[in-house]
Amino acid sequence: MTLVETAAKKLAILVVDDELIVRESLGAWFREDGYKVDTAENARDALRLSAEGRYDVAFLDIKMPGIDGLELQAKLRESVPDLAVVVMTAYASVDSAVRALKAGAQDYIVKPFDPEQLSALLRRIEETRALRSENVRLKSALDRAAAPPIIGDSPAMRRVLEVIASVARTDATVLIHGESGTGKELVARAIHQQSARRYNPLVAVHCGALAEGILESELFGHEKGAFTGAAYHHKGKFEQADGGTVFLDEIGEISPKVQVELLRVLEEKRVTRVGGKSSIPVDFRVIAATHRDLRALAKAGEFREDLFWRLDVVSVEIPPLRDRREDIPLLARHFTEQLGRSMNRKNLRITPEALEALKECDWPGNVRELQNAIERAIVLGRKDVIDAKDLPTRPAGGAPAASARSLQELERAHIRKTLDETNWNITHAAAILEVDRGTLYNKIRKYELAKPGHVA
């Protein structure tokens, strides 16, 4: 099916001309083509008709007594902004036609008309409209796909959601603070997705993971020959994000030198590539995140205070999960459903007892740790029901709520046991654990497991 065919609805047309013969001949021709047509002999009637019905296209005579076609065009478009206007003129008076086009008319035609040309014109309008609505549809599908939901109904999370919604409408710099795994990156993505910049890139930089020199060239780019090995020029993240958003994760980790450079970029909205001579203007919005108390660091002189104030225009505080326990069951159900869907296990569910047990946990690794725990329960469990005993909330011996370390220890122990039972047959063990062999190898490396008798 073509796009034009998907625009099932035929256009509704309004013809406005003071000459009866024009109204009647255009009306007859369009109706023959299957369009719905109304006619008016002056602007007043046209406005009345337009107030009552919805038109997609208006054919307006430019020269009419009283309100002329150009003025009528402006008035009609006030109430129907997406009305397609075609002006008609008996004289090939180009400048009134040009004025109409400048004011947003789709096209103009010169009397006497060639009927075939009129039909072609309407088909073109139909096509543009179909494309436009297809675009709107694709864009909203894109929006939905790109923005994972933020789950949470606690007062604290509601506040976070409110700040996201209001700050997304601005270009203000945002500083997100929260412990590891609380959803800082998720919030940054939501702000970008809800902002006018959403069709431009969101570029994330994990500042903590990079050495100073590399971070500089990552952020600001470098020119060819800026340093040994710089064989080509390289666009930095700020340039890559032009028109979009730069997400500076773990901003508390950047060195004093990079702090100075970043401050300058934020102030000037221009970047100078490493080894470059001139600065390049860029259009970006900054969202920064940190798990550290940046204000305290700034006070203590460990982070530039001027940079802190530049970043902390709007602050978002995401509380740790243990301070909003009412979100735990919502999140747990959400992850169960989500993982169930992605693993094609539609009947997966989690028992109320399991939810209660999860609520008792302190979750030092916050939402990420909870998500991992659910995933593990699903992967390691055999049934479609996740019960309290499938969750590493109460380690053997009835010890109090598990810490991040003991969760991992539990996984480690489980894997080791399975490996020992299968005599380290990786394929067999992976099958029992219902993970692929690559994942199992990664876990073995991560937990530094070794076959008894072997030196790791």
Ligand X SMILES: Nc1ncnc2c1ncn2[C@@H]1O[C@H](COP(=O)(O)OP(=O)(O)OP(=O)(O)O)[C@@H](O)[C@H]1O
290 Cβ contact partners less than 8 Å away, ≥ 6 residues apart: 175, 176, 177, 250, 251, 252
Residue 449 interacts with ligand X (CB under 6 A): yes or no: no
- What minimum distance in Å lies between the beta carbon of 179 and ligand X? 7
Residue 152 interacts with ligand X (CB under 6 A): yes or no: yes
Q: Return the range that interacts with ligand X (CB under 6 A); candidates 76-84, 119-127, 178-186, 266-274.
A: 178-186
Nearer to ligand X (CB atom), residue 188 or residue 298: 188
Amino acid found at 355: L
Contact assessment for residue 340 and residue 346, using Cβ atoms and an 8 Å cutoff: yes
Q: Which residues bind Mg ion (CB under 5 A)?
A: 185
Q: Return the range that interacts with ligand X (CB under 6 A); candidates 98-106, 182-190, 296-304, 390-398.
A: 182-190
* Nearest Cα to Cα of residue 447 among 403, 407, 398, 397: 407
Residue 252 interacts with ligand X (CB under 6 A): yes or no: no
Nearer to Mg ion (CB atom), residue 282 or residue 318: 318
Name which position in 151, 161, 230, 314 contacts ligand X (CB under 6 A): 151
The partner in contact with residue 360, picked from Mg ion, ligand X, none with C-beta cut-offs of 5 to 8 angstroms by kind, is: none
Nearer to Mg ion (CB atom), residue 47 or residue 204: 204
Residue 404 interacts with ligand X (CB under 6 A): yes or no: no
β-pairing verdict for 221-222 and 234-235: antiparallel
d(CA 266, CA 311): 9
* Nearest Cα to Cα of residue 317 among 206, 155, 184, 150: 184
Which residue's CB comes closest to ligand X? 183
Contact assessment for residue 272 and residue 279, using Cβ atoms and an 8 Å cutoff: yes
Nearer to Mg ion (CB atom), residue 76 or residue 286: 286
Question: Angle 206-209-210 (CA atoms, 0-180°, nearest 5)?
Answer: 95
- What minimum distance in Å lies between the beta carbon of 351 and ligand X? 21
104 Cβ contact partners less than 8 Å away, ≥ 6 residues apart: 73, 77, 85
Nearer to ligand X (CB atom), residue 298 or residue 331: 331
| Chain centroid, CA 387 distance in Å | 35
Nearer to ligand X (CB atom), residue 156 or residue 432: 156
Residue 340 interacts with ligand X (CB under 6 A): yes or no: no
The residues that touch ligand X, with contacts defined as CB under 6 A, are 148, 150-152, 178, 180-186, 291, 331, 367-368, 371
